[in-house]
Structure 1
Amino acid sequence: MRQRNPIAVAFVGASIILAAPAAAQETAEDVTSERRGPPEGMSTETVFDGDWASIGIGVAYSPSYDGSDDYVLSPAPLIQGSVGGIDINARPAGLAVDFIGDSATGASFDAGLAFRIRSNRASRIKDDVVKLAGELDTAIEVGPTVGASIPRVLNPFDSLSAAVDVRWDVAGAHGGMVVDPSITYFTPLSRGMAASLSLSAEYATDDYADYYFSVDAQQSADSGLAEYQADGGFNKVGANLLFAVDLDGDITNGGFAAVLIGGYSRLIGDAKRTPYTSERGSADQLFSAFGIGYAF
């Protein structure tokens, strides 16, 4: 079974099952007995061999801005796939394009471009005081992504992967650079179910931190928040747990699947100390999402 990039964690259950990494383990006896091939009745050919695509839609429940303790519902569409050996993988509020073909066996390497639309405090601010400080512009971040995936870590169908996205804002909003490292473990739980656990962090430059976390004199006068000067550095660490269920019970043939995601992140550094978080919000950030996808 071909291993694929595990960062495609969103609302396309069947493709996530083959491409993402997860948090479930088999016993040592099960792993040892299955190392030489797939479980009985499990085909080595899947809908994800060669060209394929997935489309999905879901709903997410998340903070209204980074550091908020108010939560909002928002739609979460997704498109991903592989055409001519070029993989399109999901990212939070964006996607990544991988130009290196995956290995049928052994470790795989990824290299390409990552894109993200960042609308932090650009709209839907529920806190009236933070709203008085003014809405921000939407950032469009673009940059390289690299990664690697190791299959068959604990069983014949799991994988451990790591990736790093480096992106710059090209829309003139925060005007800085963001680095997102992540590591993910994926494993099937049965023929029709899978799970993944992802750990991630976020590093940003001074321009980014100043735009989102500083409170300048005008913002202080408008909102009553204390003035604050933020510097760059690591601003967030987090974890996401995903469960995917193929609706016909077979992860290898595509079709419809349901996905449930739960996540927790903790703001650190100046992202935690800014008045937007320390006075008006919370450093503890929760995330949940549910979606339905179709792979073909």
Structure 2
Amino acid sequence: MTIRNAAFLASAAILAASTPAAAQDAGPETGPAGPPLPSETVFDGDFLSIGVGAGFGPSYTGSDDYVVFPLPIVQASYKGIDINPRPAGLAIDFIPDADEGVSFDLGVAGRLRSDRADQIEDETVELYGELDRAVEVGPTAGISVPGVLNRFDSVTVSVDALFDVAGAHGGMTVSPSVSYFTPLSRGVAASIGASATFVDDDYADYYFSVPQAATIGPDPRLLPAFDAEGGLQSIGVNALVAVDLNGDITDGGLSLVAIGGYSRLMGDAKDTPFTSVVGSADQFLVGAGIGYTF
């Protein structure tokens, strides 16, 4: 998981207190704490969630310079078609969720990748110029299992396979993830997750290879040449807490969220001089935001 992928989790977390997984039909039984949950919730039909927040993380994948960046977010369901957040993008799930039991996701995801396209804080990395933004599109699939440790929690396993269609890196990424979500009370929800990112040779070459000094020009700050290959780019974990401001996660409205994440770069993403000489393989993220569901 790159830190920008963790940033997506921060923005998705803005709406976590308003997730359908926490609002399953509870009948007369009680939730983890508080009075009985209603038999109907804002998520039983069509709904729209919007949110905005701010994240604080590395200026590029592998950087040890940190910057602030915005985290806009949209999540919705319309006639059984779900729209879910992705890092700087969205995923559309065309399979309606089951009323009870296991649910499956299958659809298409897309995102805009702006790694090293702006906010380059390191003077040495700036010598190599800004990169083009990539537009990545591809299939997404997943499965959600509710009621793992209590009636209102869920475990979700998913994978996205994205291909650059804009001609920037011209490669692909595969990102599997697993997350556990549970309400902690009538108005508080939490989630923990883990993920990984695999990249192909084209992607690795574009973001992690360092050209020969002769192609850049003489400068004592230039990094040693490096030829990057694909493979496992990163692994990471994250945790979040969301608080519904009226104390009820089932009726929508405003919610506040805080998140922390950590990822570790692996393979050539770690060994490239962009990381090993002027950056760090340890990538951290903190974020906070507010969302509204109706």
The TM-score with structure 1 as length reference comes to: 0.89
Number of residues paired by the alignment?
276
Aligned partner (choices 10, 16, 31) of residue 13 of structure 2:
10
Aligned counterpart for 2:162 among listed residues 146, 167, 176: 167
Match of 1:54 among 30, 49, 73: 49
Please report how far the alpha carbon of residue 245 of structure 1 lies from its aligned counterpart in structure 2 after TM superposition: 0.1
Q: Which sections of structure 1, spanning at least 5 residues, go unmatched?
A: 1-6, 21-33
Q: Distance in 2 between matches of 1:272 and 1:140?
A: 24
Q: What is the correspondence of 1:54-93 to structure 2 with a 5 Å cutoff? A: 54-93=49-88
- Structure 2 CA distance for partners of 1:19 and 1:136, relative to 1, 3 Å: farther
Please, what is the CA RMSD of the aligned residues? Answer: 1.8
Q: How does 1:232-247 map to 2 (within 5 A)?
A: 232-247=230-245
User: Which residue does the alignment assign to 2:153?
Assistant: 158
1:290 matches 2:288: yes
Could you tell me which runs of 5 or more consecutive residues in structure 2 were left unpaired when the two chains were aligned: 1-8
Shift of 1:19: 4.1
Give the TM-score, by structure 2 length.
Answer: 0.90
Q: 1:268 corresponds to which residue?
A: 266
Question: Given the alignment of the two structures, is residue 252 of structure 1 paired with residue 247 of structure 2, yes or no?
Answer: no
**Structure 1 position 221, deviation (Å):** 4.9
Cα offset for 1:83? 0.7
Secondary structure, in 3 states, of the residue corresponding to 1:266? strand
Cα deviation digits, residues 234-265 of structure 1 (max 9, x gap): 11000110100000000000000001111000
Amino acid at match of 2:248: D
> Can you list the C-alpha shifts for 1:218-243, whole angstroms capped at 9, x where unaligned?
24856510000000001100011010
Residue 92 of structure 2 is matched in structure 1 by 97
AA paired with 2:137?
V
Deviation per CA, 1:72-110: give whole Å up to 9, x if none.
001111111101111000112111100000011110000
Counterpart CA distance in 2 for 1:102 and 1:251 is 19
Determine helix, strand or coil for the equivalent of 1:251. Answer: coil
Identity fraction in percent: 58
Q: Secondary structure at the match of 2:13?
A: coil
Report deviation, 1:116: 1.1
Which digits, 9 at most, give the CA deviation of each residue in 1:127-184, with x for residues without a partner? 0000001110000100000000000000000001100000000010000010000000
Deviations 1:37-80 (A, max 9, x none): 44452113110111000010101101000000000001111111
Structure 1: 4+ residue segments shifted above 3 A: 34-40, 219-223
SS in 1 for 2:152: coil
